[in-house]
Amino acid sequence: MNILFICKHNRFRSKIAEALFKQLNRNKKIKVTSAGLMKGTPISNRIKNITKKNKINITGSPKYISDEVLRKQDIIINVAYNVPGSIFREYKNAKTINWKIRDVHENLSLKDYNLHTNRVINRIEKKVKRLTRKLEKV
């Protein structure tokens, strides 16, 4: 089974979901990756620092989504609030799930940024835990 987490730029939300899924998943038959709808800038130091503090290992540079990658998926999880789920309708081979999680804005004060980022990470973690439990039954 192939799972793809998608967000707008593949710098935060989808990267977090991918990393958490890899930490929690025990089924080696499930392959997971992440990508962005648009080419994104490199992952910021703020994101790298806060994910380290949360013991989340995000790796690699932001990846851009391709039609070829989408066609290979069994499950497409649209993590982003700002990416319309309707754009994945043509990929009928995959189940599409929309989580609608808002992005973190870099222009916040450090305190507000850390608070908001931790809330987003916790929300993604709850959803990933629920997903991994559901897939263990499959």
| pLDDT value, residue 40 | 72
| pLDDT value, residue 98 | 95
Mean pLDDT by 10 residues, the chain (138 residues): 95 95 92 90 87 89 92 95 87 92 81 87 96 86
Judged on CB neighbours under 10 Å (0-12, 13-18, 19+), 28 is exposed
- Give me the domain span that covers residue 25: 2-136
Number of domains present in the structure of the chain? 1
- pTM, to two decimals: 0.92
Residue 46's domain is classified under what CATH number?
3.40.50.2300
Q: Are strands 31-36 and 2-7 parallel, antiparallel or unpaired?
A: parallel
